[in-house]
A and B are shown apart, each in its own frame.
Chain A
Amino acid sequence: MRRFSWFNATSLTLGFAFLYLPMILLVVYSFNESRLVTVWAGFSTKWYGELLQNEEFLDAAWVTLKVAFFSSTIATVLGTMAAYVMIRAGRFPGRTLFSGMIYAPLVMPEVITGLSLLLLFIGIGLDRGVLTVVLAHTTFSMCYVSVVVSSRLSTFDQALEEAALDLGASPFESFTLITLPIIAPAVISGWLLAFTLSLDDLVIASFTTGPGATTLPIKVFSAVRLGVSPEINALSTLLISIVTVGVITASLVSKRAAVQRRREEQAAQRTA
């Protein structure tokens, strides 16, 4: 085993401090008694209580969840379709152009995406509100889904689909009965990615939002401009814990499944 040198220890500490110190501060101050964010005045959970009383925050959270759910669902359907066509349709004129264009929003500055969508909505006379935010989030998160799904599809053994066709399944049956169940994990992670992206988007949402469609990030951002309240710390702490628990559970489940599968495969070889 390699020795754990001072150099390694230092870089590790610095790196993690850089990543997590801000979050630790935020979590710690959410339990602060004082209203002042920078002065520690003893432990308290009162800001969590106040947060739950705050109608505005709760409304914003509800809007955000709705937007995230619908936009990520639509984005998953569209993104999976796009990925499927890109991988399966073979060569057609302009294929490279199309696949490049699907991924363009990944690198497009959000300000430009937001502005162009705003201009479009005004142009077609669509009133801004929850619908426009959902549409805007679908637009930019769809390409993430299609990246995730197409990387899975490119390693997908096409013989499986051919086998399904060969056994008398229609192309639609072959997709729904064979392809979709097999690529489901990738589709689900695509959906989760889109959901998270939509949850924390501030820029595009603020361009395309309207009355009655204030999302949580917009709410937090505007509240912070009036001064940081420990309520926001409390809210952030809640979000961080939800995400942490989610990530840990997911990785434990998938690890256990992999171990189980390996065991079964070994058992199969032994009994052969």
Chain B
Amino acid sequence: MAESVFAPWNDPEAKPLIQFKGVTKRFGDFTAIDDLTQNIYEREFFALLGPSGCGKTTLMRMLAGFEEPTEGQILLNGVDIGHVPPNKRAVNMMFQSYALFPHLSVYDNIAFGLRREKKPKDEIHARVKEMLRLTRLDRFAQRKPHQISGGQRQRVALARSLAKAPKLLLLDEPLGALDKKLREETQFELMDIQEKTGTTFIIVTHDQEEAMTVASRVAVMDEGRIVQVATPDVIYEAPNSVYVADFIGDVNLIRGTARARPTDTPPETVAKPEPEPKPAPAPRETASAPAPERAAPQPNTLGRALHDKLLSPIFGKWLEDEPRRLPPPTAPEAPRAAAPETTAPSPQPQDIPPGGLEIDWSEGQAAIIAANGDPALDGEKVVLALRPEKLGIAKTRPQAPNTLKGKVIDIAYLGNISTYHVEIEGGVMVKAQAANTRRIARRDITWEDEVWLSFTATAGVVLKDE
């Protein structure tokens, strides 16, 4: 793993800052948090994402000390803080409503926590000044909270919660009250400040875009449990369940029955005895996650095969354990691995890598090929999760491993992109997204048109049906 990549969660040596150990929280009969175990590391920007009522706020309030766990332990730097009152923890929180003290000036709001520590006056003054500078509020120090705008209030709240230099900063929907533009700016500001101060941030949000933007890792929660924890790209590209796939972003779910595909080697892959000078490129591709490349129409068979036959068997197990990684590499990465090779015969008609699954999803329709499917799912009910932007849309049948014919029912024009709602033969509605690279007047697909949707053999993720 490259040194520059920040991923303490993959490092068995790293000591977690926060450890949840079998934490359960019940309110009467209601279980808000259900036997949760999770590590969070220093300097992380960790996002808790989920619908309302999933327990993310309760989890945060337990970290702040406003709720005590019913069972289990919460460790901060190895010390159990489960029952330490909020005013005695090195944890600060930025509230959703900001909770600025209305009768105190911006300066006094920021100084409040420092004064409680009975620090010398000049030290407090210096620290408050520093915080005002960091959040660009110098001009507003003497104003009362009602005399400043929403965005400025948000920054005061941040400055106040950072003033005591906590080990851990909790942010409860910190940007919910800001309008969209300001929110996007502030997200980058937050990341910037997090980097500058080196504080560990935990953010609670129901806005998946926000979580993906700011976080180093995202935990998707549902009914008091963490369903998946991973980096934003993995959460998006390799969700581990239908719930996560559906919660994050837009997705088409195609239900069907899986059938294992033959894994026999196509003749040309005799180029196998190739040693392996390639261990380096393999991990690199997990670090950078170039999503758009996956839509490339013509994968290089050889590289593909080389990967499947050569790299996967060697690194497969090693890649399988630990947090999930991105699906096997696709076209543009493969040639890199195949570089030393000179010849590139391509006997296979459609460049579909072997192995994986076929999914029978509708009577009388060709099976969908999912070369990245887990053959162990053979015969099971599965769901193919397919992101709309991974689907191509055209009026003529393209050369692609998977094609679906359908009719445009609806078009949502969003300016930069359009989403097409297509009813495919077999009666399923599928959304496909295309960038509007041409002006709208030139767009050639319109309502009621017969279109072809196409996608590669690795565009989707095959998940077990729940």
Chain A contact residues, CB within 8 Å of chain B? 157, 159-160, 162-171, 173, 177-178, 181-182, 261, 264-265, 267-269, 271-272
In the complex the two chains form, what is the Cα distance from A261 to B145 in whole Å?
A: 11
Best-surrounded residue of B99, B117, B164 (most CB of chain A within 10 A): B99
A166, B92: Cβ atoms closer than 8 Å: yes
Please classify the interface of chain A as helix (H, G, I), strand (E, B), loop, or mixed, using the class held by over half of its residues.
helix
Residues of A within 8 A of B161 (CB): 166-167
Query: Which chain B residue lies CB-closest to A171?
Result: B87
Residues of B within 8 A of A165 (CB): 65-66, 85-87
B149, A168: Cβ atoms closer than 8 Å: no
A271, B149: Cβ atoms closer than 8 Å: yes
* A interface footprint on B85-108 (CB within 8 Å = 1, 0 otherwise): 111100111011101011100000
The residue that B116 contacts in the complex, of A162, A169, A171, A268, with Cβ under 8 A, is: A169
How far is the CB of A13 from the nearest CB of chain B, in Å?
42
Of residues 88 to 134 in B, which have CB atoms within 8 Å of A's CB atoms? 88, 91-93, 95-97, 99, 101-103, 112-113, 116-117
Residues of A within 8 A of B92 (CB): 166-167
How far is the CB of A162 from the nearest CB of chain B, in Å?
6
Known A165-B87, A166-B92, A168-B116; further 6 A-B contacts with Cβ < 8 A: A157-B99, A166-B64, A167-B92, A168-B87, A181-B103, A264-B146
A166, B93: Cβ atoms closer than 8 Å: yes
How far is the CB of A195 from the nearest CB of chain B, in Å?
24
A267, B147: Cβ atoms closer than 8 Å: yes
In the complex the two chains form, what is the Cα distance from A193 to B278 in whole Å?
A: 84
B99, A170: Cβ atoms closer than 8 Å: no
How far is the CB of A265 from the nearest CB of chain B, in Å?
5
Residues of A within 8 A of B148 (CB): 268, 272
Residues of A within 8 A of B151 (CB): 272
* A interface footprint on B154-193 (CB within 8 Å = 1, 0 otherwise): 0000001100100000000000000000000000000000
Residues of A within 8 A of B95 (CB): 159, 162-163
A268, B99: Cβ atoms closer than 8 Å: no
* A interface footprint on B406-439 (CB within 8 Å = 1, 0 otherwise): 0000000000000000000000000000000000
A268, B164: Cβ atoms closer than 8 Å: no
* A interface footprint on B51-95 (CB within 8 Å = 1, 0 otherwise): 000000000000011100000000000000000011110011101
In the complex the two chains form, what is the Cα distance from A18 to B363 in whole Å?
A: 87
In the complex the two chains form, what is the Cα distance from A166 to B149 in whole Å?
A: 24
* A interface footprint on B251-264 (CB within 8 Å = 1, 0 otherwise): 00000000000000
B149, A169: Cβ atoms closer than 8 Å: no
- A265 and B146 contact, Cβ closer than 8 Å, known pairs A162-B95, A181-B103: yes
The residue that B102 contacts in the complex, of A162, A177, A182, with Cβ under 8 A, is: A182
Query: Which chain B residue lies CB-closest to A181?
Result: B103
How far is the CB of B280 from the nearest CB of chain A, in Å?
47
Residues of B within 8 A of A271 (CB): 149
6 contacts between A and B (CB under 8 A): A159-B96, A162-B95, A162-B99, A165-B66, A167-B92, A269-B149
How far is the CB of A64 from the nearest CB of chain B, in Å?
34
B117, A168: Cβ atoms closer than 8 Å: yes
In the complex the two chains form, what is the Cα distance from A144 to B112 in whole Å?
A: 34
How far is the CB of A93 from the nearest CB of chain B, in Å?
15
With an 8 A cutoff between CB atoms, is B152 at the interface? Answer: yes
In the complex the two chains form, what is the Cα distance from A88 to B64 in whole Å?
A: 19
In the complex the two chains form, what is the Cα distance from A178 to B145 in whole Å?
A: 14
- A160 and B99 contact, Cβ closer than 8 Å, known pairs A165-B85, A166-B87: yes
A170, B149: Cβ atoms closer than 8 Å: no
- A159 and B146 contact, Cβ closer than 8 Å, known pairs A167-B116, A167-B164, A168-B117: no
Closest 10 CB pairs of A and B: A272-B149, A167-B113, A168-B116, A163-B99, A159-B99, A165-B86, A264-B147, A181-B103, A159-B95, A165-B87
How far is the CB of B178 from the nearest CB of chain A, in Å?
11
With an 8 A cutoff between CB atoms, is B150 at the interface? Answer: yes
The residue that A162 contacts in the complex, of B66, B103, B160, with Cβ under 8 A, is: B66
